[in-house]
Amino acid sequence: MAAGLLRHVEDVLVVDDGSRDATAEVARAAGARVVRAVRNGGKGTAVRLGLDDLLKGPATHIAFVDADGQHDPDDLPGLIAAARRGADFIIGSRLRNPDEMPAKNYWANTIGDKVLSRMTGLPVEDGQSGYRLIATRLLRPLHLTATRYAIENEILIKACRRVRHFASVPVKSIYGAERRHYRPFRDTWVTSWASVHFKTTGSEES
């Protein structure tokens, strides 16, 4: 994954969320930088840890790519092209090709998108996609608290009023034999209620 991404960007940061395998060593060997959590804290905690590192630098945009093998590094240029056309919040949408996704994932994501679109006023497509490219000017003011899958919703809801040009770019969805912790309908329900919390506590950071 890291080696594939480095074909398109200069810097790749891998967050090792307290793994017990050789994740860090493999990532470094592929050319990535690594930050490691002492213990597993969930996806949201890992995203926040990575942002703490990346937002200290001069980057204008940050790409988010899940490391579970579901995303194709060679789809990243499509997101970068959208940013060069002026988009500041880009989501890699897997919903353009529903045959590539299990039906339960497709419909759970579609339901979640209706909730997010209503809350943000943006045409959200595949709001639970972890494949994203976001301008750092949107990310720097945010105070993020989510520890699990609601992190994607939290970022979108808290940044939405500052978004100037929102875009969705089709990406492939790769479902193999890897064990996934995401439970489509249950976690969509949980993240939707978390979104209500983020919305009612303020969708724009000061």
145-192 pLDDT tens trace: 999 888 999 999 999 999 999 999 999 988 764 545 555 655 655 666
Whole-number Å distance between alpha carbons of 51 and 132: 13
Whole-number Å distance between alpha carbons of 62 and 82: 13
Percent of the chain with pLDDT over 70: 87
Structure tokens at 59: 């980057």
Closest CA to 190 of 148, 160, 155, 129: 148
Identify the pLDDT of residue 50.
98
Asked if CATH classification 3.40.50.300 holds for the domain at 60-200, the reply, yes or no, is: no
- Residue 93 is which amino acid? S
Structure tokens at 192: 């939707």
Q: Which residues contact 187 (CB under 8 A, 6 or more apart)?
A: 108, 149
Q: Which of 27-41, 91-105, 109-123 has the lowest mean pLDDT?
A: 91-105
Whole-number Å distance between alpha carbons of 185 and 112: 9
- Confidence band (pLDDT; 50, 70, 90) for 206? very low
What is the enclosing helix (H) or strand (E) of 137? helix 136-139
Identify the pLDDT of residue 82.
98
Q: Specify the pTM.
A: 0.87
End-to-end CA distance of the chain: 36
Structure tokens at 7: 């074909």
